[in-house]
Amino acid sequence: MKKLDKVIESQTRIRFPDCDPFNHLNNSKYIDYIINAREDQLLEFYDFDIYKLAKEQGRSWVVAQNQIAYLLPAMLMEKVTIQSKLLSFDDKSLLIEAIMWDEQKTHIKAILWTKLVHYDLKINRSTIHSAELMELFSEIENPLTELTSFEERVEALKLSGRVTTSKN
């Protein structure tokens, strides 16, 4: 059986309708770009279709919490790289980290932590993950080496030198 990547990534281009008058990606659109990238990555890297799961089993995930730090602007027509990974999971929830980089992955644009709760669409309640999902999550989980808060994670990334106020 093929070993699954724990950090997955894809690239996209920042589009005009998603930008503000200064040609920066609008703050709310960062989340849209990251979530869209994650959905595509799940299909490409894990052959996992969340919409098929919802249609066939009536189960999906709802966002319980987003934490985002905007570190550098993403600009109109810029190509960005979006990495995502599963930081942790339990029987009902997932914690996803996504980082938006410049195309070469030298500068971080934004970091997002999203907590998702597994949800049964038929009864409108949270529900536990199936054994199959728990097995997948066990294989792809990529926790941080130390327990940390979102704010501490952002600071650690800043200290890594990959976050600057302008490109060198």
Q: How confident is the model at residue 168 (pLDDT cuts 50, 70, 90)?
A: very low
| For the chain, the helix, strand and coil percentages under 3-state DSSP, each to the nearest 5 | 30, 35, 35
Sign of the four-CA dihedral 126, 130, 133, 135:
positive
Q: What is the pTM of this model?
A: 0.92
Lowest-pLDDT choice from 46-50, 65-69, 152-156, 160-164: 160-164
Whether the pLDDT of residue 28 is over 50: the answer is yes
Q: Which of 142, 36, 149 is nearest to 157 (CA)?
A: 149
144: number of CA atoms within 13 Å, CB side?
15
Residue 161: per-residue pLDDT: 73
Decide if domain 8-160 falls under CATH 3.30.360.10.
no
10 Å Cβ neighbour count for 48? 16
> pLDDT, tens digit, for every residue of 137-165?
999 999 998 878 999 999 999 888 777 65
Q: Is the model's pLDDT at 167 over the cut of 50?
A: no
φ, ψ dihedrals at 42, nearest 5°: -60, -40
At 110, the pLDDT band (50, 70, 90 cuts) reads: very high
CA distances from 61 to 28, 51, 145 (A): 20, 10, 26
Q: Which backbone phi and psi does 17 adopt, to 5 degrees?
A: -65, -15
Q: In sequence order, which ranges of 11-161 are alpha helices (DSSP H)?
A: 27-46, 50-57, 131-140, 150-157
Domain extent listing, the chain: 8-160
- Across 120-127, average pLDDT: 96
Other beta carbons less than 10 A from residue 154's beta carbon:
20
Check if the beta carbon of residue 98 is closer than 8 Å to that of residue 38: yes
